[in-house]
């Protein structure tokens, strides 16, 4: 059994929780989450939308960075390009969660036929809203040199509107522009971003970077930490389980997050 705080003294590095490690009441280390009884919003109320955008940005940038790195390490002569998909609302088209999945399946089949059996389709996409509230997609693809991708709307792969394909020089920086925009008012059930084509090591590293800091403080990417349905995280390699150091409690009209001292436990 590994002691969480001995392995990484996270509390001492976070000034918000320093008092909890100095023998004072650990309940003094909290973040108010909700509203007080008189409905007054506290200044540090948790913004779930901002957290979602932060996770999206982290996932997009890490996915693009890992793709770029893996392609270089494999000595694959690829070039990044950006595919933009828009909806033509005047034609009666409407967003559906299956549209992007069907298109990516079609592109994968086309690439297998025309780019050779050794080609790995690498992509990162993000969903964005226009100022008018119309959703559209930006897809970053890595194509083999000497090959191009036909426009999906001309081929009938994207009958919902128009498409545009353009080469980009700095793939990660180009994607960061869209990852930082975020947005609100997405259709119900919409997935905001996705990444495909990484090998197992790349997928593990991307998942590791997406995990909370208290998970990364204990485990490396090679230990394959994954969230548990009942709470906490576990390592697929060691079998250890790490409970969350945060506890949500309701007290005197407030919803608080209190940090607890936790230990890694063997399963």
φ/ψ region of 114 (left if φ > 0, alpha if ψ in -120 to 50, else beta) reads alpha
Which residues face 136 on adjacent strands? 128
Residues 6+ apart with CB under 8 A from 267: 234, 239, 240, 241
The pLDDT score that the predictor gives to residue 59 is 86
What is the percentage of the chain residues whose pLDDT exceeds 70? 72
Residue burial 162-193, b: 16+ Cβ < 10 Å; e: rest: ebebeeeeebbebbeebbeebbeebeeeeebb
Query: Whole-number mean pLDDT of the chain?
Result: 76
Q: What is the pLDDT of residue 9?
A: 39
Do 126 and 138 touch, CB atoms closer than 8 A? yes
pLDDT of residue 125: 93
Per-residue pLDDT tens over the stretch 245-260: 877 777 777 767 777 6
Look up the pTM and report it. Answer: 0.71
pLDDT of 130-179, one tens digit each? 777 788 899 999 998 889 999 999 999 999 999 999 998 877 777 777 66
Q: Note the pLDDT of residue 100.
A: 95
Q: Model confidence over 33-90: pLDDT tens digits? A: 333 323 333 334 556 667 777 888 888 888 888 998 888 776 668 888 999 999 886 5
- On the 0-12 / 13-18 / 19+ scale of CB atoms within 10 A, 41 is exposed
């Amino acid at each position: 059994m590994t002691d969480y705080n001995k392995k990484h003294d996270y509390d001492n590095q976070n000034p918000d929780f320093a008092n909890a490690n100095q023998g004072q009441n650990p309940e003094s280390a909290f973040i108010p989450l909700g509203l007080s009884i008189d409905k007054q919003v506290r200044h540090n109320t948790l913004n779930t939308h901002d957290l979602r955008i932060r996770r999206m940005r982290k996932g997009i940038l890490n996915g693009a960075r890992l793709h770029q790195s893996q392609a270089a390490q494999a000595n694959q002569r690829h070039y990044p390009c950006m595919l933009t998909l828009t909806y033509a609302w005047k034609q009666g088209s409407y967003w559906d969660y299956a549209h992007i999945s069907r298109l990516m399946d079609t592109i994968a089949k086309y690439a297998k036929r025309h780019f050779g059996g050794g080609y790995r389709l690498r992509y990162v996409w993000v969903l964005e809203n226009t100022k008018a509230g119309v959703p559209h997609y930006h897809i970053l693809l890595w194509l083999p040199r000497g090959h191009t991708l036909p426009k999906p709307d001309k081929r009938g792969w994207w009958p919902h509107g128009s498409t545009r394909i353009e080469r980009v020089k700095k793939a990660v920086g180009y994607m960061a522009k869209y990852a930082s925009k975020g947005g609100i008012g997405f259709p119900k059930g919409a997935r905001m971003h996705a990444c495909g084509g990484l090998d197992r090591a790349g997928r593990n590293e991307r998942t590791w970077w997406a995990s909370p800091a208290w998970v990364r403080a204990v485990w490396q990417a090679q230990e394959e930490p994954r969230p548990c349905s009942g709470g906490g995280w576990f390592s697929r390699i060691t079998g250890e389980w790490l409970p969350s150091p945060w506890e949500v409690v309701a007290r005197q009209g407030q919803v608080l997050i209190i940090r607890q001292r936790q230990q890694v436990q063997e399963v």
